[in-house]
Amino acid sequence: MPETILVVEDEPSLQETLAYNLEKQGYRVETAGDGRLALETARRLKPDLIVLDIMLPAMDGIEVCKTLRRESFSSPILMLTARDDEIDRVVGLEIGADDYLTKPFSMRELLARVKAQLRRTQVVREELDKLKTSAPAQDTLTFGNLAINRMRREVLLENAVIALKPQEYDLLLFFAEHKGQMLSREFILDRVWGWDYIGDSRTVDVHVRWLRQKIEADPANPTRIVTVRGGGYRFEG
C-alpha cells in the first residue's frame, strides 16, 4: 500500500505542483487549502507525513502543528515557509515539526526530505517489530527513578509513563545506551537521525531541551543530560 501524504498549501498552483510530483513518486496524496481543513483531514486520514505551509487562512501552520502534537499525532511534519528566518525555523522545531524548508525550494530537495522522513519512520517501526518478536518480556534500563523499557518503547519517571515523541525516545535511549560518554552533536545526529538526514546539529539541541523538560527535576540545571562545553552532551543517568 502506498504511503499517504497530506499536502497543506493555500496557493493553488503550488498545491497542485506538490501533489503532482509526489504522486509521480508513487505516494497517495490528499490536499487541504486552510488550517482547519488540514486538521480535519489529518484526523480522518492519519497520513504517513504532512507537508505543512506556515502561512494559511483560518488557522496558521504553527497552530495546526501544535494542535496535532497535543493530540499525540506522531507522523513526521515537514513545514514550508516563504520567510528565510532563523526564528521561524526554531519555533517550527520547538512546536513539533520534524523538518523545515524555505521557499523557494527545488522539487528535488523536497522529495529528498520527504523520502528521508518516511524512511526514518519505517526504520523505527521495523525496530519496534523486532523488539516485539525477539526481546525478552522485560528489557529495561533503570537510572534511579527513570526507567526505559525497550520492548514497549516506554519511559517511566517515578513509575508514571511520560509522553515522548518517537524521536525523543530514540534520543533518550541512545543516551542511556552510552551512559557516561561524551557524544558530539554531529555523532548524535548521524546515529539517531541517520546519515541522510537533511538538517543541522541544532535539531539535537532542540530535542535535548524537550527531554530535559520531561526528565530533569530542574531543566535549567540538568543533572541527567549534561552539556559538555565545546563538545556535545553526556548522559549521567
Return the beta strands (E) in 18-127 as ranges: 28-32, 49-53, 77-81, 99-102
Q: Say if residue 19 is in the same domain as residue 88.
A: yes
On the question of pLDDT at 28 being above 90, the answer is: yes
172-to-105, 130, 143, 178 alpha-carbon distances in Å: 33, 19, 12, 10
Q: Say if residue 38 is in the same domain as residue 95.
A: yes
CATH code, 201? 1.10.10.10
φ and ψ at 207, to 5 degrees? -70, -35
Which pLDDT does position 161 carry in this prediction?
Answer: 93
Which pLDDT does position 44 carry in this prediction?
Answer: 94
Which pLDDT does position 193 carry in this prediction?
Answer: 78
On the question of pLDDT at 77 being above 80, the answer is: yes
Q: Say if residue 69 is in the same domain as residue 141.
A: no
Question: Is 129 a domain residue?
Answer: no
Give the domain-ending residue among 122, 143, 172: 122
Domains held by the chain: number? 2
Residue 176: CB atoms within 10 Å: 19
Question: Is 96 a domain residue?
Answer: yes
Condensed to tens digits (0 to 9), the pLDDT of residues 63-76 reads 999 899 888 787 88
Question: Is 140 a domain residue?
Answer: yes
Which pLDDT does position 125 carry in this prediction?
Answer: 67
Question: Is 211 a domain residue?
Answer: yes
Give the domain-ending residue among 122, 150, 184: 122
Q: Say if residue 157 is in the same domain as residue 116.
A: no
Question: Is 175 a domain residue?
Answer: yes
Which pLDDT does position 102 carry in this prediction?
Answer: 87
Q: Say if residue 113 is in the same domain as residue 140.
A: no
Three-state SS at 232: strand
Q: Say if residue 97 is in the same domain as residue 184.
A: no
On the question of pLDDT at 137 being above 50, the answer is: no
Which helix or strand (DSSP H or E) is residue 43 part of? Answer: helix 35-45
Condensed to tens digits (0 to 9), the pLDDT of residues 82-130 reads 766 655 666 666 777 888 888 889 999 999 999 988 887 776 666 556 6
Question: Is 229 a domain residue?
Answer: yes
On the question of pLDDT at 48 being above 90, the answer is: yes
Q: Say if residue 118 is in the same domain as residue 140.
A: no
Domain of residue 17, residue span: 4-122
Q: Say if residue 105 is in the same domain as residue 211.
A: no
Q: Say if residue 26 is in the same domain as residue 118.
A: yes
Q: Say if residue 198 is in the same domain as residue 175.
A: yes
Q: Say if residue 8 is in the same domain as residue 117.
A: yes
Give the domain-ending residue among 69, 99, 122: 122
On the question of pLDDT at 200 being above 70, the answer is: no
More confident residue, 196 or 55: 55
Sheet strands side by side (includes 225-228): 182-184, 232-235, 225-228
